[in-house]
Amino acid sequence: MEELLEELGLNRSESTVLLSLLDSGASSAALLARRTTLKRTTVYSALSELERLAIVRRIKRENRTVFQALNPEELTELLRTQAKEEFQSRLSTIELLEPRLERFPLRNRHTVGGYEVTYTRTLKGALNVLDQATTVGSLIRSLHFMENSESERELL
């Protein structure tokens, strides 16, 4: 399970501390250090990051401080929400970047026999070529899709 948590961005120490809290409930940093065999400073560092991520809460009990992980349902929902927000943020960045990248001159255009030839590697690129051609009224003589370096399929 530590590997899965690491795929979500936690480091090994954070994963170990979180799993210990989920398994044993609210615990002090000293008890977590003994249970996990991690150094106390490592446990505090992991707890600090888990708190920052809102995965762990700090609770004052009498004169002691203990840490408690979200319950599994809350944790799952939090991780799902964070993943969706990160995905939306990256998608927004890509959408901002796309028109800026389109300003660069195409290096995949050549003139062969008086015809402009455009090479593209993606379906979206091919659709852009078709869109540009229909917008300016260009004649498309042929359209080829390369399946691999040895064969191609002529569509038009």
Mean pLDDT by 10 residues, the chain (156 residues): 85 95 94 96 96 94 92 92 92 88 65 71 72 68 54 41
Helices (H) and strands (E) in the chain, counts: 6, 6
Q: State the residue for tokens 């927000």.
A: 85
**In this structure, what are the phi and psi dihedrals at residue 77, rounded to the nearest 5 degrees?**
-65, -40
**What SS3 class is residue 63?**
coil
Residues of the chain with CATH 1.10.10.10: 2-70
Evaluate whether 56 touches 50 at the Cβ level (below 8 Å).
Answer: yes
Q: Tell me the pTM.
A: 0.60
- Assign domain 2-70 to its CATH architecture: Orthogonal Bundle (1.10)
Residue 37, CB-side half-sphere exposure with 13 Å CA sphere: 0
pLDDT at position 150: 43
Give the amino acid at 68. Answer: Q
